[in-house]
């Protein structure tokens, strides 16, 4: 298999065929597969499985949220009793559908993506699952949409949950907006915060074209760890997720 520029040591430890690309950060591919097959796939709602299968044939299928990270997000949404949520980075809608299935019937998701075409790939599954009425899809760059939301003062401190899975170099900007939009006690989850383990490698071990990606995530991780406005947990599920609970 082509290694897509991934450093060799990491590839060996993270190599699980997942739509043609390695996924998972655990000590072995077998362990990751064990978790998926034992605890994740058997409990995955049928519409999510269908959407995952449809997405598998997309050339960029590896962008979809990992089902193990998704399972934790579904639990967080239930624990929070989340009703009003934001998603930045929809792609074909795996994380969007899991959110829509987890919130109550009168819950709402503002789902933002620059690309409506990929959202429309998953839309028939979302419709069949009977949850489309919970989704307000906005085709746009995310930052101006978040800024627009903040112009309406009724939105400040009103969101229960946000999931950020888009352009990594803007995560820090999204975070500033979310610290105003989320209620105290609300949660934002950032995806890809371990960047396939590259954040922990010396820069010299990282291919040139991935150096900026790695640096952006290192800076974000430092900034979140030092942010007194949030309680955090950095979790090695999927490609690494950071859960931030607004505390003030
Ligand atoms: C990793 S994929 C999202 C995966 C999705 N969460 C899922 O479960 O399938 C990233 C998405 O972010 C979108 N995106 C990239 N930059 C963006 C931006 N500045 N604003 C909004 N969406 C953006 C891309 O079009 C792409 O669909
Ligand atoms: O391979 C990717 C690429 C992205 C990505 C790149 C550039 C953007 O502006 C947005 C997203 O995101 C990914 C991702 O979130 C993931 O879990 C796996 C792969 C990729």
C-beta of 91 in contact with ligand 1 (< 6 A): yes
Mean pLDDT score, 199-217 = 97
Per-residue pLDDT for 12 more than 70?
Answer: no
Residue 11 scores a pLDDT above 60: no
Please, which pLDDT band fits residue 63 given cuts at 50, 70 and 90? very high
**Confidence class for position 28, pLDDT limits 50, 70, 90:** confident
- Give pLDDT, residue 2: 29
DSSP 73-102: HHHHHHHHT--EEEEE--TTSHHHHHHHHH
- Of 192, 210, 214, 216, which is best to mutate to test ligand 2, by the most ligand atoms within 8 angstroms of its C-beta? 192
Average pLDDT value for the chain: 92
Closest alpha carbon to 216 in 174, 187, 186: 174
- pLDDT tens-digit profile of 82-102? 999 999 999 999 999 999 999
- Check pLDDT > 70 for residue 243: yes
| pLDDT classification of 5: cutoffs 50, 70, 90 | very low
Q: What is the pLDDT of residues 30-50, one digit of tens each?
A: 999 999 999 999 999 999 999
Cβ–Cβ under 8 Å, residues 51 and 224: no
Range name among 2-6, 157-161, 215-219 with the lowest pLDDT average: 2-6
Domains of the chain, residue spans:
8-246
Ligand 2 centroid, distance to 217 Cα (angstroms):
12
- Residue to mutate, 4, 168, 213, 240, ligand 2, most ligand atoms under 8 Å from C-beta: 168
pLDDT tens profile 178-194: 999 999 999 999 999 99
What b/e sequence results for 192-221 when a residue is b if at least 16 CB atoms lie within 10 Å of its CB, and e otherwise? bbbbbbbbebeeeebeeebeebbbbbbebb
Q: Which ligand is located closest to the Cα atom of residue 58?
A: 1
Percentage of the residues of the chain whose pLDDT score is greater than 90: 88
Percent of the chain at pLDDT > 70 equals 91
**160 CB near ligand 2 (under 6 Å):** no
Overall fold of domain 8-246: Rossmann fold (3.40.50)
Contact present, 177 and 151 (Cβ < 8 Å): no
The protein residue whose alpha carbon is closest to atom 11 in ligand 1 is: 89
CA 105 to chain centre: 22
**Ligand 2 centroid – CA 239 distance (Å):** 10
**Residue 242 confidence (pLDDT):** 98
Nearest-CA residue for ligand 1 atom 18 is: 141
CB 97: neighbour CB atoms within 10 A? Answer: 27
pLDDT in the model for residue 23 = 61
């Amino acid at each position: 298999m082509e290694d897509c520029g991934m450093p060799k040591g990491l590839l060996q430890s993270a190599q699980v065929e997942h739509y043609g690309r390695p996924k998972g950060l655990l000590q072995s591919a077998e362990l990751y597969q064990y978790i998926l097959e034992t605890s994740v796939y058997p409990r995955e709602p049928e519409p999510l499985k269908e959407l995952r299968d449809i997405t598998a044939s997309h050339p960029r299928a590896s962008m979809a949220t990992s089902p193990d990270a998704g399972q934790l997000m579904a639990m967080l949404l239930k624990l929070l009793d989340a009703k009003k949520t934001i998603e930045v980075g929809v792609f074909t809608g795996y994380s969007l559908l899991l959110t829509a299935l987890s919130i109550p019937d009168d819950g709402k998701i503002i789902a933002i993506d620059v690309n409506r075409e990929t959202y429309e790939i998953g839309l028939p599954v979302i419709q069949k699952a009977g949850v489309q009425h919970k989704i307000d899809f906005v085709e746009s760059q995310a930052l101006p949409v978040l800024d627009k939301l903040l112009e309406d003062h009724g939105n400040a401190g009103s969101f229960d949950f946000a999931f950020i899975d888009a352009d990594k170099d803007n995560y820090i900007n999204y975070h500033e907006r979310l610290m105003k939009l989320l209620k105290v006690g609300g949660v934002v989850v950032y995806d890809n915060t371990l960047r396939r383990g590259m954040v922990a490698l010396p820069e010299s071990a990282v291919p040139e074209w991935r150096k900026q990606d790695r640096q952006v995530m290192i800076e974000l991780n430092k900034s979140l760890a030092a942010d007194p406005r949030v309680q955090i947990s950095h979790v090695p599920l999927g490609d690494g997720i950071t859960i931030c609970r607004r505390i003030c």
